[in-house]
Amino acid sequence: MNKLPPIIECVPNFSEGRDKAVIDAIAQAISAVEGVKLMHVDMGEDANRTVMTFAGDPEAVVKAAFEAIRIASEKIDMRSQTGAHPRIGATDVCPLIPVANISLEEVVVYARELGQKVGEELGIPVFLYEAAATVSERKNLATIRSGDYEGLAVKLKDPNWKPDFGSTAFNARAGATVIGARDFLLAYNVNLNTRSLALAKAIAAEIRESGRITIENGKKIRISGRCKAVKAIGWYMESFGLAQVSMNLVNRHITPLHIAFETCREIAAMHGVEVTGSELIGMVPLQVFVDAGIYFAQKQALHPAELSESELIAIAVQSLGLDALGPFSARDRIIEYQL
């Protein structure tokens, strides 16, 4: 069998999920680069955010990412942008991810190359995060994004927040962009049978690793959440008429998708709320579905070893309720199948 060439994936998040013409323009810029395959476009109206997934030759991916960021900076005006999702710029975050025959350390070099090009040629302040971070305090995306776009102008005046690339001048139209290198992250939302934002936030606080802060004897105490390597917030999705717990699973080996789902269901039940399905954003490795299929098959007293890969995937999709909000094709979401 021929060895695969080096392949990296890019999953940029754009602060636009309502204007299809803008998203189509960005997608076309990516698809026009030879050596890159645009695999998925996920538009979110309420979050006003679109997540794209493309992969290919590292140099080609860097070129496509730059073109996407350039088009986004021209088409998206952050001065009038609103949405449910935290964001800091038109291209909010742009991670590069190793897929085949390339190390995370090698991908860091490409992320910094992209960051420098964006900062110098587009005049957009760039912060490096995760494995590409130049200072430990910037590894966490949430830390960089704190204050959102609305607080960016003040943030850039702080010497501690000098961008890794680009000017400290506030780019009112494009905001800033966070670029980095990381392993696979699963973006995953769990649907609740409630419209209560407060309940969704309370459930999220009990799930996420950072937990919540409570007051005991006049002192603030942090109580850790149930799921390690999970970030979570609660929000209300107007278009669906329901609240969700929106999660980022930053290490699927520590907390797999199906465990995050089951934990959310348990905690929701304690609050008198039912989980009615879930929503996967972007694409995932095949093993995510296989592991979930094995888990739920065992719960159903089935024998996973007797089931085919496609049967395990079908069990995972049904058990997670991934088709609750609309048609769902697992084959279209599995990276290995698309490549």
pLDDT in tens, 28-64: 999 999 999 999 999 988 889 999 999 999 999 999 9
The reply to whether 232 and 285 lie within a common domain is yes
The reply to whether 152 and 239 lie within a common domain is no
Question: What is the predicted pLDDT for the residue at 285?
Answer: 87
Question: Tokens representing 180?
Answer: 């980095």
Task: Round the average pLDDT of the chain to a whole number and report it.
Answer: 94
Residue range of the domain that includes 75: 7-181
Q: Which residue in this structure is represented by tokens 């098959």? A: 297
d(CA 53, CA 335): 9
Note whether residue 144 is domain-resident: yes
Asked if residue 16 lies in contact with residue 49, where contact means CB atoms within 8 angstroms, the answer is yes
The reply to whether 255 and 309 lie within a common domain is yes
85 tagged catalytic:
yes
Domain boundary at 165, 181, 197, which?
181
Along the chain (339 residues), what's the average pLDDT of each consecutive run of 10 residues?
A: 77 96 98 95 91 95 98 97 90 94 95 98 97 93 94 96 96 97 93 97 97 88 94 93 96 95 98 97 91 98 97 98 94 86
Question: What is the predicted pLDDT for the residue at 3?
Answer: 63
DSSP of 233-293:
EEEEETTTTEEEEEEEES-TTTS-HHHHHHHHHHHHHHTT--EEEEEEES-B-HHHHHHHH
The reply to whether 232 and 124 lie within a common domain is no
d(CA 183, CA 8): 10
The reply to whether 122 and 215 lie within a common domain is no
Structural domain count of the chain:
2
The reply to whether 48 and 169 lie within a common domain is yes
Note whether residue 68 is domain-resident: yes
Note whether residue 31 is domain-resident: yes
Note whether residue 275 is domain-resident: yes
The reply to whether 125 and 224 lie within a common domain is no
Residue of 40, 85, 258, 271 marked catalytic: 85
The reply to whether 154 and 226 lie within a common domain is no
